[in-house]
């Protein structure tokens, strides 16, 4: 094994996955679990390993090592939690790499229980076009997956981008922490705009960053029932959810 491959394998070995619930909050004190978002963490920091991840997805060779590890971890989760629905994040950059498509094929046996979340990170252009387009999304959906756009109204996933791909997505997610500097009035205006848009196009809308009961109750009051955040669940290793299966 080359030194760079060994170094990358060691970095991947320092990674682990956690799950965070996405719920249907029928009221602010009770909920139905819809899905579990799969989140990447680094053992040394217990946080998302941004620099390591950017290095991994820079080329197909390194991404292949990571995606094989990720595939094995997803299959391990399903061996213990066979009935659960998982949401898997993919950076647009990864969809330029053949190893990502091999990964999607290799876990397609679980396709009806998996949503692919496309993150808001701007990607490189492919033949002068954005990599996230009709052809890319249709290719994902042909495996049987449903598709979500993460963190709408930020980064790549702005309103126009969502409109351009509206026929090929099933869910949008809006993260409140991105708008913490805005006034309450502006945040509620943003939420209502996206809810009207989601209802019009028959999309699920998930509100992320629900951190306390008061916020959850306010959201539920205005029919923002699909919620995610620390009020409902801290990210945990999959075995913490075994008792619920």
- Higher-confidence residue of 36 and 134: namely 36
The answer to whether residues 178 and 154 touch, using CB atoms and an 8 Å cutoff, is yes
Q: How many structural domains compose the chain?
A: 1
Q: Does residue 245 form part of some domain? A: no
Q: Is 78 a domain residue? A: yes
Nearest to 17 by CA among 245, 243, 240: 240
Kind of pairing, strands 129-130 and 125-126?
A: antiparallel
Checking if the pLDDT of 126 tops 70, the result is no
Q: What number is the average pLDDT over the span 96-102?
A: 97
Mean pLDDT, range 7-28, rounded to an integer? 90
What is the spatial distance between Cα 190 and Cα 224, in angstroms, rounded to a whole number?
Answer: 13
CA nearest neighbour of 89 among 53, 139, 44, 126: 53
Residue 196 belongs to a domain: yes
pLDDT band at 245 (very low <50, low <70, confident <90, very high): very low
For 20-54, the pLDDT digits (tens) are 999 999 877 788 999 999 999 999 999 999 999 99
Higher pLDDT among residues 242 and 89, named by residue:
89
244 inside domain: no
CA–CA separation, 156 and 231 (whole Å) = 28
Q: What percentage of the chain reaches a pLDDT higher than 90?
A: 69
| Measured CA angle at 131 (ends 126, 137), to 5 deg | 140
* Under 8 Å between Cβ of 169 and 149: yes
Hey, which residues does 40 pair with through a beta bridge? 17
| pLDDT for 181 beyond 90 | no
Average pLDDT, integer, range 109-136: 82
* Average pLDDT score over residue span 55-79: 96
Run of H or E including 30: strand 30-42
Q: 20 lies in a domain?
A: yes
In-domain check, residue 176: yes
Q: What is the pTM of this model?
A: 0.91
Q: How far apart are CA 238 and CA 77, in angstroms?
A: 7
CATH of the domain at 169: 3.20.20.450
pLDDT digits (tens, 9 = 90+) for 205-232: 999 999 999 889 999 989 999 999 999 9
Rounded CA gap, 245 and 65, in Å? 31
Whether residue 71 contacts residue 107, with contact meaning beta carbons closer than 8 Å, is answered with yes
For 146-170, the pLDDT digits (tens) are 999 988 877 777 888 899 999 999 9
C-alpha to C-alpha distance for 70 and 161, rounded to whole angstroms: 28
Q: Containing domain of residue 163, as a range?
A: 3-239
For the chain, the C-alpha Rg in angstroms (whole number) is: 18
198 part of a folded domain = yes
């Amino acid at each position: 094994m080359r030194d760079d491959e060994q170094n990358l394998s060691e970095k991947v070995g320092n990674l682990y996955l956690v799950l965070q619930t996405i719920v249907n909050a029928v009221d602010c004190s009770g909920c139905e679990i819809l899905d579990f978002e799969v989140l990447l963490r680094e053992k040394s920091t217990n946080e998302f390993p941004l620099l390591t991840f950017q290095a991994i997805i820079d080329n197909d060779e390194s991404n292949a090592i990571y995606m094989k590890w990720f595939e094995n971890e997803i299959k391990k989760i399903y061996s213990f939690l066979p009935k659960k629905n998982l949401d898997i994040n993919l950076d647009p950059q990864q969809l330029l790499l053949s190893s990502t498509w091999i990964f999607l094929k290799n876990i397609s046996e679980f396709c009806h229980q998996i949503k692919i979340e496309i993150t808001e990170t701007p990607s490189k252009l492919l033949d002068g076009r954005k990599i996230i387009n009709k052809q890319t999304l249709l290719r994902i959906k042909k495996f049987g997956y449903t598709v979500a756009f993460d963190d709408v109204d930020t980064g790549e996933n702005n309103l126009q981008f969502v409109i351009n791909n509206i026929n090929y997505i099933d869910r949008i997610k809006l993260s409140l922490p991105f708008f913490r500097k805005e006034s309450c009035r502006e945040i509620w205006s943003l939420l209502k705009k996206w809810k009207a848009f989601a209802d019009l196009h028959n999309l699920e809308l998930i509100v992320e960053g629900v951190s306390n009961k008061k916020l959850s109750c306010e959201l539920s009051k205005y029919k923002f029932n699909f919620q995610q955040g620390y009020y409902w669940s801290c990210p945990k290793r999959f075995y913490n959810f075994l008792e619920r299966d």
